Amino acid sequence: MRLLQELFTTDVGLFSAVGIAFMLGMGVFFLRLFLRNDAPAAAQDAPHKR
């Protein structure tokens, strides 16, 4: 419990929480971006493999 209190009440903890949230958000954004942009290429290649 002390760890969570320190994470959300101190300056260093808040910067860490914001940094972690930002990195996770970037990961989700790029994962969706890459999967969405790769889907049309995979759909075009599929009929040619038969």
What is the torsional sign of CA 14, 17, 20, 24?
negative
pLDDT at residue number 2: 95
pTM equals 0.68
Per-residue pLDDT at 37: 86
Half-sphere exposure of 47 (CA within 13 A, CB side): 3
Residue 44 confidence (pLDDT): 73
Q: Could you report the per-residue pLDDT of 1-47, keeping only the tens digit for each?
A: 999 999 999 999 999 999 999 999 999 999 999 999 887 777 777 66
Q: What pLDDT, on the 0 to 100 scale, is given for residue 49? A: 53
Cα distances from 49 to residues 1, 26, 36, 40, in angstroms, run 56, 34, 21, 15
Give the pLDDT of residue 18. 98
Name the residue ranges covered by the structural domains of the chain.
2-38
